[in-house]
Amino acid sequence: MIKPHGADSLNPLLVTDPAEHKRLVAEAATLPSVLLSSAAAANAVMLGGGYFTPLTGYMNVADALSVAEQMRTTDGLFWPVPILNLIDDPSGIASGSRIALRDPNVSGEPIIAIMDVAAIETLSFDQKARITQQVFGTLDAAHPGVAVFQAQGNHCVSGAIQVINLSYFETEFPGTFQTAVQIREDIAARGWEKVVAFQTRNPMHLAHEELCRMAMERLDADGIVIHMLLGKLKAGDIPADVRDACIRKMVDVYFPANSVLVSGYGFDMLYAGPREAVLHAVFRQNMGATHLIVGRDHAGVGDYYGPFDAQAIFDEVPEGSLEIEIFSADHTAWSKKLNKVVMMREAPDHTPEDYVFLSGTRVREMLGAGIAPPPEFSRPEVAQILMDHYRAEAGSLSA
């Protein structure tokens, strides 16, 4: 199986030994505590599950700036996005101390991890702007990822952590959420060697389904992991449980047995386009995938990135930094000429009128009105789940 990034074995920070876990829970109750941002809590979940191997905790300012500007930590580890714990008020904690980290996303704000504080540094306005510009490619506060990052505190608390739970993901998505450790075990149990990963934060329409099929066939892969984001999204995105139901229905009906693993991970979407695409590659390598599909507008939002910037950035990745390979895909859509889904770059004789196109706005309008999109766009079973969702949503708003 493919090696994890920067290590010979995974480095999950979740404490699983029962005795040690019990000891840490008792210790945590005696420690000064800090309430994390949702982003920092998501980082703890990814560190806990081994997705962020070989990191041992949150980065300091020097590493954050180095990663933002050079995609390397100060000690040379290739890494595309700073992994930070930014807080508003560091009073009551000190460098060299041990503190409890509380989860803002679970009722009662339980402790999610214990941290050995290596440093508490103030991130200057200029430093925060530099990180924002490099990671997101913009300082525009209308960008959802920029808005979330800028809203976090300016005090950077760095150091190693021990994770004692994985937030709400295990309880809310018990059949879907998996750590990188669990996915590697699942891949090994299935006997897969060449494994494709597909990133999604949306329900999959027919073109996405066919793109997965194309990648599997062209790479002669043993299987594909449809790996959905389960954390926080921007307003208006489809809730994770609805996406999960849609994807599982599509897989159950239209894919052969033992060809697809439906899974999810606990991270908040950054909408960072190219940089987030590289982060996706890093943690998909850690979970055991040998290939990642990177399509048009991967991890993007609005018009902040070019349609293929998330593919072009991999040309900047130094040779040998990653073992996972990229399957670069063009926009896919139903061809009226060929009666099948095609990649547009592979149909040079087509005009826009030769494709079935529906904007996201139009699809939402149709679903909200109880009208299924055409079968050239969406599987009817998937459309029904979405129509039920929009109908229930409209009912709750009018109640």
Residue % of the chain over a pLDDT of 70: 99
pLDDT digits (tens, 9 = 90+) for 195-221: 999 999 888 999 999 999 999 999 999
* Residue 195 and residue 123 share a domain: no
Pick from 23-27, 233-237, 393-397 the range whose average pLDDT is largest: 23-27
The CATH number of the domain where 376 resides is what?
Answer: 3.40.50.620
Q: What is the 3-state secondary structure (H, E, C) of the chain?
A: CCCCCCCCCCCCCECCCHHHHHHHHHHHCCCCEEECCHHHHHHHHHHHCCCCCCCCEECCHHHHHHHHHHCECCCCCECCCCCCCEECCCCCCCCCCEEEEECCCCCCCCEEEEEEEEEEEECCHHHHHHHHHHHHCCCCCCCHHHHHHHHCCCEEEEEEEEECCCCCHHHHCCCCECCHHHHHHHHHHHCCCCEEEEEECCCCCHHHHHHHHHHHHHHCCCEEEEEEECCCCCCCCCCHHHHHHHHHHHHHHHCCCCCEEEEEECCCCCCCCHHHHHHHHHHHHHCCCCEEEECCCCCCCCCCCCCCHHHHHHHHCCCCCCCCEEEECCCEEEECCCCEEEEHHHCCCCCHHHEECCCHHHHHHHHHCCCCCCCCCCCHHHHHHHHHHHHHHHHHHHC
Query: Which of 54-58, 110-114, 198-202 is least confident?
Result: 198-202
Please determine, for residue 350, whether its predicted confidence score (pLDDT) is greater than 90: yes
From the list 201, 248, 364, 391, the catalytic residue is 201
**What is the mean pLDDT of the segment spanning 69-78?**
98
pTM: 0.95
Where does the pLDDT of residue 396 fall: very low under 50, low under 70, confident under 90, or very high at 90 and above?
Answer: low
Where does the pLDDT of residue 320 fall: very low under 50, low under 70, confident under 90, or very high at 90 and above?
Answer: very high
* Residue 51 and residue 162 share a domain: yes
Q: Give the chain's mean pLDDT.
A: 95
Please determine, for residue 358, whether its predicted confidence score (pLDDT) is greater than 90: no
Predicted local distance difference test score (pLDDT) of residue 368: 87
Q: Active site includes 60?
A: no
Please determine, for residue 163, whether its predicted confidence score (pLDDT) is greater than 90: yes
The CATH number of the domain where 162 resides is what?
Answer: 3.10.400.10
Q: Active site includes 379?
A: no
Predicted local distance difference test score (pLDDT) of residue 399: 52
pLDDT digits (tens, 9 = 90+) for 297-309: 999 999 999 999 9
Query: Which of 153, 169, 185 represents a domain boundary (last residue)?
Result: 169
Please determine, for residue 383, whether its predicted confidence score (pLDDT) is greater than 80: yes
Query: Which of 147, 169, 191 represents a domain boundary (last residue)?
Result: 169
Predicted local distance difference test score (pLDDT) of residue 202: 87
Query: Which of 116, 141, 169 represents a domain boundary (last residue)?
Result: 169
Predicted local distance difference test score (pLDDT) of residue 105: 96
From the list 202, 213, 364, 391, the catalytic residue is 202
Where does the pLDDT of residue 181 fall: very low under 50, low under 70, confident under 90, or very high at 90 and above?
Answer: very high
* Residue 153 and residue 185 share a domain: no
* Residue 205 and residue 150 share a domain: no
Please determine, for residue 345, whether its predicted confidence score (pLDDT) is greater than 60: yes
Please determine, for residue 397, whether its predicted confidence score (pLDDT) is greater than 70: no
**What is the mean pLDDT of the segment spanning 113-131?**
98
